[in-house]
Amino acid sequence: MINFHLLVPTIDDYQNNDRTLFSRSPTAFHLSGVIMVKTWFITGTSTGLGRLLTERLLARGDRVVATLRKQGALDSLLAQYADTLQVLTLDVTDAPAIQAAVAEAYARMGRIDVVVSNAAYGLFGAAEEVSDAQIERQIATNLVGSIQLIRACLPHLRAQGGGRIVQVSSEGGQIAYPNFSLYHATKWGIEGFVESVAQEVAPFGIDFLIIEPGPTATNFGAGLDHGAAMPAYQDTPSGEVRRAITSGAFVIKGDAAKTVDAIIVAADAQTVPLRLALGSTAYASISQALAERMRRLEAQKTVALSVDRAP
């Protein structure tokens, strides 16, 4: 049996060598010609992209700490990969529980090379159709939960000399559909948070990768939390989106397995872009949105410059 702890570089390894080793390749290690096993911490692993990512990484020999809200969802994987999979129960709306889970992961594994903030879901409905409780839960899960996970990991990543954080967002972090206003608020919010924090922690060898998939064939639609439909919105863009999703007319082009493979390739790379759009829908919609923003910004140039203070 392989002793995985012997294959994981310690803080001393980085202190005794050039500290830039980690920033050059935060997810792959080569000591004495041996390719090192990576250790991942992934939230939201019971289904969807999180589950597929966990399966792929375990199959190639990596170690995974997988978190989920309900016990039992990964029992089959745990039986198959007892030596390389650790499963923790975690509700990401519980900040102290996040701190405890991260500490437990480090206690069990020694180090974490890649953190994947994946736990999230969608709240569907026009802004006035969703309840206060639904809004609070959406923000607590998708936005605050991701923020608290990242904050909990940063001290550990700094202490070990660096690491990589993968934030699973959405094309919805760059564009907006009707009926997903609260979901978009969380995705735009977490992308802004990550873009700022990435600048703060880059000197410590910590980098970020924001994943922006388009509509992908997972269980995302089945897991939507629905607001109570109001007749007033029936003949509006909100009503049109509701009917498209209900009827199955909403086109989903993304392949979940290919998406996960692309995430792994990107996370393994020596350097990563801050954002990675995945899927033709995401690429087209984000491209169109950015081009339109630039067009409107250029039209405002004269007004923008006119409000500067006189030299």
**What separation in angstroms does the CA of 230 have from each of 46, 64, 131, 233?**
33, 44, 12, 6
Chain-centroid distance of CA 127 in Å reads 24
SS3 category, 18: coil
Nearest-angstrom CA–CA distance, 137 and 123: 9
Residues tagged active-site:
169, 183, 187
CA gap 45, 65 in Å, rounded = 10
Helices (H), ranges, 213-300: 237-247, 256-268, 280-299
Closest CA to 205 of 113, 304, 94: 113
* Separation between Cα atoms, residue 101 and residue 97, nearest integer Å: 6
How many Cβ atoms are within 10 Å of 216's Cβ, its own excluded? 23
State how far the Cα of 259 lies from the Cα of 246, in Å rounded to an integer: 24
